């Protein structure tokens, strides 16, 4: 099932097509949005095929890869359909269907993962066969061991965790709210007691009941990873980047240290605004920030508290427009938002979405059934059955999310001529970054071109900085969260974080990386990680951190190709077909080449770097440093 989820986990290797999801529950922008039962497809059991005896040969490896690729492609379509039905109509019956097809897929992977490992040291393999064997062996999300019943148990747990999340509820003033409703209210409510109630009830009701199942999932998947020759599941996840797991960890540390000054300045400025609004009793002027005050259920993006943070900006310097208001005033509907997103890609020369997209997608939340509202993009038949699954609302966040999700769909279609095992992005960060690159082009210039903004509403230099601040509250604020979710899971998988310290370690890492704390005490009866979709659905999350870095590299390259000479943050490459041609050339490569090759094809460099992000926000960083002069920035916590 190609949803923004499992697509990155390599649908091929796990028998499931792919789904691309965004980082947040309803498109938390990223992005992407990860694996859904979407994750059930990412389960794989490992064993050696009893039919294979003697020393394997290169010819046998070629034949095996061809057979595996054919069987995976054929099975993926019906499996994708089962996952789609489950995600868009959650019932015990559809849970059972998702588990059933997930288990069948796992049994297929029993043969493929084990046989791929068997050919690992064969001499004389052609490069394509070698690359595909590596994909089959290492691109699993949750590998099951050969123990009888382990695959079925793992599929059952994975389906149950995701469905528990989809059915999750919290409260405000005692009123029961869905996750989608809580996420919306966390962005608008300003009463700290109500914010605390929503935050606490969601994590207690949704996360805590998952704890035992999650611990068992870790045990089973670790056994499967070890059967494949990895130390643990986290090491397996880190092996999918054309480098060793340790080298990948070093790369992410380097990137974080490069962009951390942006986050530190934003944290200091934001905390001052929250203190000014709520007072010392709710938010002290020094130390960490209370997690529920940041306008987001997970404190991962802070744009919803812009009105608080920017409250003491000079009078008359507020942004010249509010995108949500513009959408409402122009009578936008969820369908019209999606059509507008499609038009952006059409302006770059991409073909229109197929007619089936409009009949098969879930664009708004149904009123008659439970669904997984987390935004995701799907390619059900690995060719042209493209879909999105969203509970779209008419607001600026979902306007951006739609552009992001459609980026996944156009990426999926671009590589559909590749062999099945190459029908994926160069690495999972690429898939998320492409949609985000398009979203960065939602500038005042673009809004004017599509008739949402009048010329007399174009921002002044002061207002331009306010727009950049609003962007930073989402883009920069996300960086440490995008890193720490998997830092926590890597520790859990490796055993560094024992089950008895799940909650304490989560809180410690949030303090270390984000400088935030829960609104009240949390004990080991809690399991706040489960309140995040991507943990419940076993979707690797470092892809979203990489996407935050890569999107600015892609964007800077596109703007240079378009001949843009103004400030980077005001560039839009809407209607530029040269950019579209070069972008499509990179997308069409799929996973057929190592990611540095794909990066070089579009940007001219083989290195991931935070330099483009720093250049984009440099005018704001200089201003933030001036505003923070005299403040006690930073927070007490373990060193990052």
The pLDDT value recorded for residue 113 is 81
> Residue range 557-566: average pLDDT?
95
The pLDDT value recorded for residue 525 is 97
Contacts of 151-154 with CB under 8 Å at 24 or more apart are 151/43, 151/45, 151/103, 151/106, 151/107, 151/110, 152/99, 152/103, 152/106, 153/216, 153/220, 154/43, 154/106, 154/217, 154/220, 154/221, 154/224
Average pLDDT along the chain: 89
The pLDDT value recorded for residue 55 is 86
451 domain residue, yes or no: no
pLDDT over 70 percentage in the chain? 90
The pLDDT value recorded for residue 441 is 92
The number of domains in the chain is: 1
Examine the pLDDT at 15 and tell me if it is beyond 50: no
The pLDDT value recorded for residue 111 is 72
Instruction: Indicate the pLDDT class of residue 53, thresholds 50, 70 and 90.
Output: low
Q: Which of 306-320, 530-544, 602-616 has the lowest mean pLDDT?
A: 306-320
pLDDT tens figures, 185-240: 999 999 999 999 999 999 999 999 999 999 999 999 999 999 888 999 999 999 99
The pLDDT value recorded for residue 449 is 94
Closest Cα partner for 2 from 384, 482, 550? 384
What are the tokens at 634? 């930073």
Instruction: Indicate the pLDDT class of residue 315, thresholds 50, 70 and 90.
Output: very low
Q: Residue 222 and residue 231: Cα distance in Å, rounded?
A: 8
369 domain residue, yes or no: no
> What is the domain range of residue 41?
3-243
453 domain residue, yes or no: no
The pLDDT value recorded for residue 18 is 38
pLDDT tens figures, 404-417: 999 999 999 999 99
The pLDDT value recorded for residue 125 is 95
581 domain residue, yes or no: no
Neighbours of 521 (CB within 10 A): 7
Q: Which of 80-84, 311-315, 499-503 has the lowest mean pLDDT?
A: 311-315
Closest Cα partner for 44 from 89, 7, 12, 19? 12
435 domain residue, yes or no: no
Neighbours of 615 (CB within 10 A): 14
> Residue range 608-626: average pLDDT?
96
> Are 493 and 218 spatial neighbours (Cβ–Cβ below 8 Å)?
yes
Annotated catalytic residues are: 374-375, 404-405, 408, 432, 534, 544
> Are 142 and 43 spatial neighbours (Cβ–Cβ below 8 Å)?
yes
> Are 381 and 412 spatial neighbours (Cβ–Cβ below 8 Å)?
no
pLDDT tens figures, 263-301: 999 999 999 999 999 999 999 999 999 999 999 999 999
Of 18-22, 35-39, 137-141, give the range with the top mean pLDDT: 137-141
- 549 contacts: CB under 8 Å, gap ≥ 6: 255, 259, 429, 433, 608, 609, 610, 613
340 domain residue, yes or no: no
> Residue range 546-554: average pLDDT?
97
Task: Using only the alpha carbons of the chain, give its radius of gyration.
Answer: 23
Q: Residue 211 and residue 524: Cα distance in Å, rounded?
A: 10
Q: Which of 47-51, 131-135, 457-461 has the lowest mean pLDDT?
A: 47-51
Q: Which of 65-74, 110-119, 185-194, 271-280 has the lowest mean pLDDT?
A: 110-119
Examine the pLDDT at 262 and tell me if it is beyond 90: yes
pLDDT tens figures, 123-175: 999 999 999 999 998 877 898 887 888 988 998 999 999 999 989 999 999 99
56 domain residue, yes or no: yes
140 domain residue, yes or no: yes
The pLDDT value recorded for residue 313 is 53
Strand partners, 387: 378
């Amino acid at each position: 099932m190609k949803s923004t989820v499992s697509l990155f986990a390599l649908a091929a290797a796990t028998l499931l097509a792919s789904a691309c999801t965004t980082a947040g529950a309803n498109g938390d922008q990223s992005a992407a949005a990860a694996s859904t039962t979407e994750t059930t497809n990412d389960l794989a059991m490992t064993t050696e095929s009893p039919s294979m005896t003697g020393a394997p040969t290169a010819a046998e490896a070629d034949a095996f890869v061809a057979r595996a690729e054919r069987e995976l492609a054929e099975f993926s379509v019906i499996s994708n359909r089962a996952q789609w039905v489950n995600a868009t109509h959650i019932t015990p019956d559809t849970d059972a269907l998702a588990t059933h097809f997930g288990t069948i897929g796992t049994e297929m992977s029993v043969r493929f993962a084990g046989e791929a490992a068997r050919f690992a040291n064969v001499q004389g393999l052609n490069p394509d066969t070698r690359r595909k064997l590596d994909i089959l062996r290492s691109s699993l999300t949750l590998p099951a061991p050969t123990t009888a019943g382990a695959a079925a148990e793992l599929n059952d747990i994975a389906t149950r965790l995701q469905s528990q999340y989809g059915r999750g509820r919290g409260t405000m003033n005692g009123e029961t709210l869905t996750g989608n409703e809580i996420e919306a209210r966390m962005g608008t409510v300003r009463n700290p007691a109500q914010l605390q109630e929503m935050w606490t009830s969601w994590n207690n009701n949704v996360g805590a009941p998952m704890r035992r199942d999650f611990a068992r999932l870790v045990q089973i998947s670790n056994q499967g990873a070890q059967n494949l020759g990895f130390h643990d599941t986290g090491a397996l996840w880190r092996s999918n980047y054309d480098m060793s797991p340790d080298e990948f960890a070093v790369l992410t540390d380097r990137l974080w240290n490069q962009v951390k000054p942006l986050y530190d300045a934003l944290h200091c400025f934001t905390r001052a605004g929250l203190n000014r609004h709520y007072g010392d009793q709710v938010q002290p002027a020094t130390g960490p920030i209370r997690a529920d005050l940041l306008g987001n259920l997970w404190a991962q993006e802070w744009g919803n508290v812009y009105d608080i943070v920017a409250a003491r900006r000079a009078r008359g310097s507020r942004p010249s427009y509010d995108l949500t208001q513009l959408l409402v005033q122009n009578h936008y509907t969820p369908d019209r938002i999606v059509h507008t997103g499609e038009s952006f890609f059409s302006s770059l020369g991409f073909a229109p979405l197929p007619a089936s997209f409009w009949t098969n997608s879930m664009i708004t939340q149904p009123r008659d059934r439970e669904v997984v509202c987390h935004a995701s993009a799907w390619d059900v038949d690995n060719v042209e059955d493209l879909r999105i699954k969203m509970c779209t609302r008419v607001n600026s966040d979902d306007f951006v999310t739609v552009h992001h999700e459609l980026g996944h769909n156009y990426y999926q279609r671009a590589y559909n001529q590749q062999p099945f095992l190459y029908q994926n992005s160069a690495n999972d960060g690429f898939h998320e970054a492409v949609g985000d690159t398009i979203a960065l082009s939602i500038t005042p210039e673009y809004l004017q071109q599509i008739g949402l903004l009048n010329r007399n509403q174009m921002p002044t230099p002061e207002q331009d900085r306010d727009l950049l601040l609003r962007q930073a509250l989402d883009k920069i604020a996300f960086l440490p969260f995008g890193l720490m979710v998997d830092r926590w899971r890597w520790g859990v998988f490796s055993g560094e974080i024992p089950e008895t310290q799940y909650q304490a370690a989560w809180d410690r890492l949030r303090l270390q990386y984000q400088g935030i704390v829960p609104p009240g005490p949390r004990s080991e009866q809690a399991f706040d990680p489960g309140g995040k979709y991507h943990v419940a659905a076993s979707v690797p999350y470092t892809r979203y951190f990489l996407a935050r870095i890569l999107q600015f590299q892609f964007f800077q390259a596109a703007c240079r190709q378009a001949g843009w000479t103004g400030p980077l943050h005001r560039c839009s490459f809407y209607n530029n077909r040269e950019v579209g041609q070069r972008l499509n050339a990179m997308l069409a490569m799929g996973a057929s080449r190592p990611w540095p090759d794909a990066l070089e094809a579009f940007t001219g460099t083989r290195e991931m770097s935070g330099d483009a992000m720093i250049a984009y926000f440099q005018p704001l960083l200089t201003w933030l440093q001036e505003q923070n002069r005299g403040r006690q920035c930073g927070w007490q916590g373990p060193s990052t």
